[in-house]
Structure 1
Amino acid sequence: MRGIQGRFTLTEGANLQNSQQIAFLRQMQKELKQENSLNVPLEKMSAVVFDIETTGFYPEHGDEIISIGAVKVRNGEMVEDEVFYSLVQYTQELPEEIASLTGITSTDLKNAEPLSEILLRFFDFVKNDTLVAHHAIHEKNFLQNASWKLFRTPFKHRIVDTSFLYRIADPDLGLTRLEDLCIHNDIEVIERHHALGDAKLAAKLWCAYIEKTKQLGCRTLSDVYERLARK
């Protein structure tokens, strides 16, 4: 996918169905190379670990994305200076419990850019990399919903859940929360419930479990899926 700078101009207050945005996103999807990441060694797989904060859990019932954070992983290590973060415009009053949890205010969101613009920049940041998320079904549901609602195109990126690795490396641990798994792996928990902070925690967790699964003979995603299928 080519960089978005200079490719088109977005007008302030553009309609969510802006034809330029839709055409551009569809072109990006066509250019997306479906690299067979299944057989790439996990430590060599180019990944973007990401997290979203939302107003609730159900995009089909009107819940919305309010922030996106992401960080790249290369050669099995998090790349600290290759990050993405943005608030997302939300014109309603943010639920009090969400504001308290995330530290985001309704004023912050009213002054932010629309989701359509943020997603175009996010997809350009991701390019052909494999997406990774903790409890990825949440992120996948919202991105699928937004991609179709805003651009009338399906969401085509692969998203890998961190649980795929820790279910193999620590099958009897019984932990699922991001902070608990980080503590178990001696990862300092900071900036919890901030999209970029959580993305960095998930990236460190992903890297830690790459090493653990390698030691158990799972070197690729294909190996991981085969091992999980036998459970």
Structure 2
Amino acid sequence: MMDYIVYDLEMTNRLSEIIEIGAVRLRMMNGELAVTDHFQSFVQPKMDSLNTRITNLTGITKKDLMNAQPFTTVIKDFKDWIGEGEYYLCSWGPEDKWALITDATFHNTPIDWIINHNDLQFLFSILHDSEKGFRYGLTRALNKLQISLEGSQHRALDDAMNTAKIFVSIHKEIKLEKNPNSFLESKIFEPEKLVYQSKDEEEDGTQSPFASLSKLFG
């Protein structure tokens, strides 16, 4: 049975180190995609520290991270939760894939499980003919589909749940790609697929920590 793992990460501001992982598992049940399980864990950063901006944005506090497990422990728990069956990994934008690979490499943990990765933001934006230079932010995409945002923005599990709602709505109109781990390493920085700034981030003044990467590619 194929699992669809829709996940989201929260990260520090300076080094984009993972501080929270949230995910939901979807399976086909009676001909419809449905959420069957969820995962959430804080991650204690090793290279970076939490600053006021990220606390204000996410609500994550230093106390949350002080009591958290390190990346190596949390990522093992996450992999165990995903399980041994077939799965797609899906995120809203490419930043989460980049952060997973970067943190795993720093902590010397395997990345061979990061397979069949798909960027739902890219697929949604292509589907809805987003204007050149921008992709749909999560809130704007929910509004486009007339789906209510639930929970708190910029919290990993809530964002994963809202992303999963979008996936359920569009999954019959898009085709997910199966790709090996080597594909991820070679495609980690695709200029045409990086999210520098989504439209709703521009409008509400929220700056993506990856927005500055656009300067690298002109």
Note if 1:56 corresponds to 2:13. yes
Partner of 1:26: none
Q: Which amino acid aligns with 1:96?
A: T
Partner of 1:70: 23
TM-score (norm: length of structure 1): 0.65
How far, CA to CA, are the matches of 2:111 and 2:177 in structure 1? 23
Cα deviations across residues 170-199 of structure 1 (Å, max 9, x unaligned)?
Answer: 114665110110111121112211100000
Partner of 2:72: 116
Cα deviations across residues 118-176 of structure 1 (Å, max 9, x unaligned)?
Answer: 000111112341100001x2111111112222235334422101134323431146651
| Unaligned stretches of 5+ residues in structure 1 | 1-43, 223-231
| Unaligned stretches of 5+ residues in structure 2 | 179-218
Spell out the pairing of 1:34-183 with structure 2 (5 A cutoff). 45-56=2-13, 62-75=15-28, 76-79=32-35, 81-90=36-45, 93-127=49-83, 128-135=86-93, 137-155=94-112, 156-172=114-130, 175-183=135-143
Comparing both structures, which one devotes a greater share of its residues to helix?
Answer: 1
Q: Percent identity?
A: 29
Larger radius of gyration: 1
How far, CA to CA, are the matches of 1:67 and 1:120 in structure 2? 14
Partner of 1:208: 169
- Indicate conservation of the 8 Å contact 1:134/1:202, yes or no: yes
Aligned length: 168
Partner of 1:184: 144
TM-score (norm: length of structure 2): 0.69
How far, CA to CA, are the matches of 1:221 and 1:151 in structure 2? 27
SS in 1 for 2:107: helix
* Distance change in 2, residues 1:168/1:45 (3 Å): farther
Give how far 1:90 is off.
3.2
- Indicate conservation of the 8 Å contact 2:125/2:136, yes or no: no
Give how far 1:103 is off.
0.4
* Distance change in 2, residues 1:220/1:198 (3 Å): closer
How far, CA to CA, are the matches of 1:220 and 1:161 in structure 2? 9
Partner of 1:198: 159
* Distance change in 2, residues 1:125/1:152 (3 Å): closer
State the Cα RMSD in Å: 2.4
Cα deviations across residues 3-57 of structure 1 (Å, max 9, x unaligned)?
Answer: xxxxxxxxxxxxxxxxxxxxxxxxxxxxxxxxxxxxxxxxx85210000000037
Greater Cα shift, 201-210 or 121-130: 121-130
How far, CA to CA, are the matches of 1:121 and 1:104 in structure 2? 20
How far, CA to CA, are the matches of 1:93 and 1:142 in structure 2? 16
Partner of 1:229: none
Q: Which amino acid aligns with 2:65?
A: L
Q: Which amino acid aligns with 1:52?
A: L
